[in-house]
Structure 1
């Protein structure tokens, strides 16, 4: 048997490129920031050298190289998680352009692999400029036109990963993707005893539809707690605030430890996307706490949940979600936690990415 090249054994130097819209720190703005943080931390724990290129304000415990994307203050009513103002778009463009030009000039001496977790087109479009330095891009969204056009410029230079089979299928007409499901750190989402109110967690936006979780909980006669940042003030004022009160409360934006405690005490977690979720990290977080999930059957949620961990409902149907809620809360919490170990753990996710990194490095050596 021929000797294994050294690249398969030694620690790797990983350039991890984050989405620049929000800092990678707690309390996390969303699942993408949480996934990037835990991936970086676990790679470092395993002995790899990780340089994280991320927005200012990211956790200093990580080796963060700040992307210069701080612009003028935005009004509180702005939708910060979707269409960015032109000034912000220009700052992001310049920041990623500077990063990719630097990697083209010096990256092969500093890194073994680039892992792009951003939603920006430039790390994809400019991947061919990096020469032999391998680039892996994780697709966290449905096909966005700017990413599709960038992939056409990539010319097969990068390897692409989707966070679910659903997302891989959505991209199938554009690019072939391997699938690496997201994972959560089970040590930071400990099993709880349940018995408390139902919980809904996530960004307060129309596409997350927390108002339908409220309607379903009221139909089921179950108290509900909402946890998450208000990202759309108008939607919050019109659709959420009038439904609060009595058995329904909104606790605001919690850090991970607070949210893990809340989920561990919950009888059931509700997940109510009004769009096709590429993954659905909030469901995995609840499962890690042993809390069964009642969710709309949209996007990748049927992949995240199985019969041990939750029940699915017709999308956009609070009455059917109330039915799923009552069924899910009867599930065995130990079985839910076991499903999380098997399907949604950080260990499994990082094992998969290590395999991809080393495979990409070996391809570079062979080339």
Structure 2
């Protein structure tokens, strides 16, 4: 039984006129379902916020049958259309509304598949600690994925209490992240929170991402002024942290902002992020546009703006090396993805041909029986 529900409670979790419009573009049956937001994702189930409260949920059989890739399934932050089971705190997910923004990475292993880290974020807080784990090249990788997501990236340098010269590190990040806000914070010393206030508006969604041990859960608890996530100590000898967060979850802060905490990642494997790569290295792309020749390979001094910038010190050689490294990585990934798609297509065609032959043989047998 499908019932129309009052959607006002969902506005607290980010529902808006925009999503009303998106919903109206779904088919007639789907429009009659209730919207809900995925607020936690586990191995085989979800926790969602519906108009009648928090529910556990799973996808319908038809949804699972039609899903091809991992990214087809709901992710934390998604708006989904659900059938609310009467008299139970349970719903069935029938559809995912088109994502406004989403951060994606290559799934672990050798399979060519993508994994949604979070969706429908307004801001993406890229967290890096000012300890032995500080790494500009790692921040650049996260920026590629962040720009590709469509959300506004913001770099937070945490644990400033462990660093002798935090402004020096902030300046280095600003050079490596053109146009991206960079903030120095310390939850231990309660410093820098006011700088984050402009992002924490009611109804806005902020995803927190970064490696293990950089202080993501501490940041969440500090912003919430309560213990939303359990915290584990990092190993002091190498600044490596254990995974405090084991699943993705969306938390509603007292002020109305929504914070998405995600498990730490040892390494962010990029996925189909060419536009994000261009944005993350916009300064180098601008230099490339100033080269004398359109097909400049940036290996000779004559008329090459990039070589000149390297020579005069205005371009960091390590940043340029990462620019070339990530470009090769994305090109290699694109080739593998194309090859994988071709194999899937051939496999599907072969399977369809077998079904046709099987169906044809069955018809022949039936005709003989007649």
Smaller-chain TM-score range?
Answer: under 0.3
> TM-score, normalized by length of structure 1?
0.26
Higher relative contact order, chain-length normalized (CA < 8 Å, sep 6+) = 1
Q: Which has the larger radius of gyration?
A: 2
